[in-house]
Structure 1
Amino acid sequence: MNDTAHALGTSRTLWELVERRAALTPDRAVLLQGDRSLSFGALRERAERVAAGLYGMGVRPGTVVAWQLPTRIETALLSFALARLGAVQTPVIPFYRDHEVGFALRGAKAEFFAVPGTWRGHDFAAMARRLDATGVFEVYDGDALPDGDPAVLPGPPTEGTAVRWIYWTSGTTSDPKGVLHTDRSLIAGGSCLAHALHLSPDDVGSIAFPYAHIGGPDYTVMLLLYGFPAVMFEQFALPEALEEYRRHGVTVAGGSTAFYSMFLAEQRRRPGTRLIPSLRLLAGGGAPKPPELYHRVVDEMGVRLTHGYGMTEVPMITMGSPDDSDENLATTEGRPPASMEIRIVDGEVRLRGEAVCRGYLDPAQTAEAFDADGFLITGDLGRLTPDGHLVLTGRLKDVIIRKGENISAKEIEDLLHGHPGVADVAVIGLPDEERGERVCAVIERAPGTPAPTLAAVTAHLRGRGLSVHKLPEQVEVVDALPRGETLRKVLKYKLRERYAAAVTPEP
């Protein structure tokens, strides 16, 4: 991290970071979308006017404001306006519906709720009425944002360690958890990302994931630290998005493992040509990265790929760096910054540092999540290499116990990514009276290839040296694995529900 970025990283609050960046480079762009551009100076000025409009509506420091908005410039303006006021904001992923949204509004005790009207065929205002939400207002373009005279505003917040953010875990098999963050925890997370990637003011980034995700402020902090812009995508799809990447000369793209696979698949439709001529780096996190996928992306796309490790509770924990070795980039999640402590306890990853959340809305959940030394218990399994890189080996809940033996789903998945017929794969444990659990590989077939059979899968894994007791006993082939709408993570719980009652194949 350069000296300027390091100095900005000491900002106490997000609004202080906005003001300091705007003073340094007021005319440089920060957000690009279609034909529109927002500069750092305009971000500060317009966010203050929006804050004044919100103040006129009754929003005060500490007021809880929920917002469920697409990835738009207006969304960022509203969020920074709330940061200027010192309100408590609770972003809600736009793909959530009545059950999750109602849970979030009730849990956070939201006093205001910003929605986009109708978006992608869904009437958010009508949903808000069904949920009896209070203080509902619509944000669908720049003219719809609240507006006022900044002279009415109280002074900006100065305390960076107060809880001002409530994020929501995805809640796959139970209700979501409200995760409590501060301005400083979000700045620390973004600083980790910026420190690892070695970016410069000449770079152009991209935000192709929901801004309401914890990655939204994570990424925006990086823009503020280094003073470069990012292209915002309200809806991400390939090949449609390629024009915007090329038009703005994007140098850094990514999002998660699923994004890498999408870029790679598109590149394969254009062999011999650069998919995005300006692109030099893919970077992301949010889901495991198979080593085989790393090598394919680097070899076929001609770019570097750095992958990191983060979660709603800790937006950035480790990150690969472009100057890491290929071995480390392929097989590890990178290294933590100096401010992040990683402790491995009985194979489980535990974390302590400024980027770690303050806990959950439910005090009982907070008590369960931290150990006696204040380390967050992640539920992830891993180890540290001698040079400090983190290797994740699976989830504690993603360990399959077959006849009393622990089997890592991730180990099998990584090996299956080397099979030519496998575009993606999820390995799950299914109930089995004899074995306790049986190993099932659910395969998303690569286009134009025959469906992999159980015999072909086990032969491939035997050839890669996998122990016999870890071999799958069941293979299911699907056109597409079920995924979440944020970072496109595979939803294994849906696969377990679907295949739990299937007949056990003969061993």
Structure 2
Amino acid sequence: MNDTPHSLSSARTLWDLLDRRARRTPERPVLLQGASTLSFGALRARAERTAAGLYGMGVRPGTVVAWQLPTRAETVILSLALARLGAVQSPLIPFHRDREVGFALRESRAEFFAVPGVWRGFDHTEMARRLGAKGVFTAYEGLPDGDPAVLPPPPAEGTSVRWIYWTSGTTSAPKGVLHTDRSLIAGGSCLARALRPLPGDVGSIAFPYAHIGGPDYLVMLLLHGFPAVLFEQFAMPDALQEYRRHGVTIAGGSTAFYAMFLAEQRRRPGTPLLPSLRLLAGGGAPKPPELFHAVRREMGVTLVHGYGMTEVPMITMGDPDDTAENLATTEGRPPAGMEIRIVDGEVRLRGEAVCRGYLDPAQTAEAFDEEGFLRTGDLGRLTAGGHLVLTGRLKDVIIRKGENISAKEIEDLLAAHPAVGDVAVIGLPDAERGERVCAVVERAPGAPEPTLDAVTAYLRAEGLSVHKLPERLEVVDALPRGETLRKVLKYKLRERYSGA
């Protein structure tokens, strides 16, 4: 029987992929959490029993089931059980509260809602009742259980919409993003082909499994048959013990995660933070080139960064064997099957990993062009070697006196300033100029507070054009961030400083 990742990637559905892996390597571990280990065979068996329990509750193919659960093995089991039934899943980030959760429940018309009960001091069951959610059940009091003999056959195809993910809402109200099993498998296959995991690798899922990156990573585990450590709550330095206990070789999540690892390494220079670690990998937010060089120089590991979004879980990814220049300054190259087109500077995408659209048909019509390419709203260019360079957002372009200014260009330069820990550059309304450039920075630990004169002098020395120089500087203790991949919420900064 062919056991190559390529053969497994042809699986029709997510359940088909799990079934194939469980039959090939049933005893090999897949999910590690604390002292608990779950094998591929046990994962399949438990998911099927849970599917039978859900079937007894009335869940059928096409039933919409929302779940708001932290990153635990039980969460993965429940999600795979729903995949076995062919239900439509609507995963919700566990940090979200009444506004976001109520919106998602209403828009998806969820018929069941799985919650963790009281988690981190917050009563999710009470919130669900307050919102009038249907079919509420507490997953962690015991997963539904039943005899798999009652189950209908698993889904025969993976092209029907069975997933509703939600955009982060960092710039507007969340959108319900429609995915299929095949689009998620395609995204995970892209990640697997880029990272080329080794048989002895141990991965890690330190971000919410309800994020689009959850199934992305799971597909990679199923394709290559290696395990990952699950983190229900990620915090440094506490998480280091689990990384060391399991000998994690691939870690990461997003730019904020890289920065946290690097900060811990700087507390013990000269001593490897994680001796087993060989690769930091992730995406979801811009990566300053200086961060790549610092990780490589101070941690002695390779950092590969990719480009993805809720609508397309994996678009490009860095190659561990690529040049330092490409790894530092680009988002990597797209895999076979992902078409990238640059139209008037905007990145547009077409391929199997692209979502089917949105719950709102009007949003779908607006998002895709006449040739079926998704308009990402990101600005970029392709190098001669096929690497993608992101230069900013369509909505993140500052227009000063009719000149377009890339916020990312300024951010990348300021990220290397010794007094700057992190930075976000925004445009603020200006009656004469249209917009003016404002840099909001976190001060680096132990560094003097940066001043506007010092910042502009530094940028001048780096060769930045005069018309792009910040006209305002704000120093904050911490930039506002989302709870999933810790993206900076620029709309909050604009709200805070626009009237000041």
TM (norm. structure 1) is 0.98
Q: Residue 48 of structure 2 corresponds to which residue in structure 1?
A: 48
Q: Residue 94 of structure 1 corresponds to which residue in structure 2?
A: 94
Kindly state the Cα deviation for residue 175 of structure 1 after the two structures are TM-superposed.
2.0
Query: Structure 2: which amino acid aligns with 1:40?
Result: F
User: Do structure 1's residue 124 and structure 2's residue 127 form an aligned pair?
Assistant: no
Q: Residue 302 of structure 1 corresponds to which residue in structure 2?
A: 300
Query: Structure 2: which amino acid aligns with 1:169?
Result: T
Kindly state the Cα deviation for residue 172 of structure 1 after the two structures are TM-superposed.
2.8
In structure 2, how many angstroms separate the alpha carbons of the residues matched to 1:463 and 1:452?
16
- 1:203-282 equivalences in 2 (<5 Å): 203-282=201-280
In structure 1, how many angstroms separate the alpha carbons of the residues matched to 2:169 and 2:161?
22
Q: Residue 66 of structure 2 corresponds to which residue in structure 1?
A: 66
- 1:318-329 equivalences in 2 (<5 Å): 318-329=316-327
Q: Residue 369 of structure 1 corresponds to which residue in structure 2?
A: 367
Kindly state the Cα deviation for residue 173 of structure 1 after the two structures are TM-superposed.
4.2
Query: Structure 2: which amino acid aligns with 1:23?
Result: R
| 1:166 pairs with one of 161, 164, 167 | 164
Unpaired segments ≥5 residues, structure 2: none
Kindly state the Cα deviation for residue 162 of structure 1 after the two structures are TM-superposed.
0.3
In structure 2, how many angstroms separate the alpha carbons of the residues matched to 1:274 and 1:174?
42
Check whether the contact 2:251–2:279 (CA below 8 A) recurs between aligned residues.
yes
Query: Structure 1: which amino acid aligns with 2:110?
Result: A
Kindly state the Cα deviation for residue 174 of structure 1 after the two structures are TM-superposed.
2.9
Q: Deviations over 1:190-238 (max 9, x none)?
A: 0000000111221000000000000000000000000000000000000
Q: Residue 82 of structure 1 corresponds to which residue in structure 2?
A: 82
In structure 2, how many angstroms separate the alpha carbons of the residues matched to 1:182 and 1:364?
20
Query: Structure 1: which amino acid aligns with 2:399?
Result: I
In structure 2, how many angstroms separate the alpha carbons of the residues matched to 1:396 and 1:130?
38
In structure 1, how many angstroms separate the alpha carbons of the residues matched to 2:100 and 2:398?
29
Q: Residue 337 of structure 2 corresponds to which residue in structure 1?
A: 339
In structure 2, how many angstroms separate the alpha carbons of the residues matched to 1:115 and 1:88?
16
**Identity rate of aligned residues, in percent?**
82
Q: How many residues align?
A: 499
Kindly state the Cα deviation for residue 344 of structure 1 after the two structures are TM-superposed.
0.3
In structure 1, how many angstroms separate the alpha carbons of the residues matched to 2:89 and 2:479?
33
Q: Residue 469 of structure 1 corresponds to which residue in structure 2?
A: 467
In structure 2, the residue corresponding to 1:186 is in which secondary structure?
helix
Query: Structure 1: which amino acid aligns with 2:78?
Result: L
Check whether the contact 2:170–2:490 (CA below 8 A) recurs between aligned residues.
no
Q: Residue 315 of structure 1 corresponds to which residue in structure 2?
A: 313
Kindly state the Cα deviation for residue 3 of structure 1 after the two structures are TM-superposed.
6.8
Kindly state the Cα deviation for residue 435 of structure 1 after the two structures are TM-superposed.
1.0
C-alpha RMSD over aligned residues: 0.8
Q: Residue 404 of structure 2 corresponds to which residue in structure 1?
A: 406
In structure 2, how many angstroms separate the alpha carbons of the residues matched to 1:398 and 1:31?
39
Q: Residue 505 of structure 1 corresponds to which residue in structure 2?
A: none
In structure 1, how many angstroms separate the alpha carbons of the residues matched to 2:96 and 2:80?
22
Check whether the contact 2:3–2:24 (CA below 8 A) recurs between aligned residues.
no
Q: Residue 185 of structure 1 corresponds to which residue in structure 2?
A: 183
In structure 2, how many angstroms separate the alpha carbons of the residues matched to 1:397 and 1:3?
45
Q: Deviations over 1:144-172 (max 9, x none)?
A: 10000000000000111000000001113
Query: Structure 2: which amino acid aligns with 1:91?
Result: P
Which runs of at least 4 in structure 1 moved beyond 4 Å after TM superposition? Answer: none
In structure 1, the residue corresponding to 2:326 is in which secondary structure?
helix
Q: Residue 416 of structure 1 corresponds to which residue in structure 2?
A: 414
Kindly state the Cα deviation for residue 501 of structure 1 after the two structures are TM-superposed.
1.4
In structure 1, how many angstroms separate the alpha carbons of the residues matched to 2:457 and 2:183?
47
In structure 1, the residue corresponding to 2:65 is in which secondary structure?
strand
User: Do structure 1's residue 353 and structure 2's residue 351 form an aligned pair?
Assistant: yes
In structure 2, the residue corresponding to 1:55 is in which secondary structure?
helix
Q: Deviations over 1:456-480 (max 9, x none)?
A: 1001101100000000000011111
Q: CA 1:434/1:3 → structure 2, altered by over 3 Å: closer, same or farther?
A: farther
In structure 2, how many angstroms separate the alpha carbons of the residues matched to 1:201 and 1:36?
21
In structure 2, the residue corresponding to 1:329 is in which secondary structure?
helix
Query: Structure 2: which amino acid aligns with 1:22?
Result: A
Q: Residue 290 of structure 1 corresponds to which residue in structure 2?
A: 288
Query: Structure 2: which amino acid aligns with 1:469?
Result: H
In structure 2, the residue corresponding to 1:483 is in which secondary structure?
coil
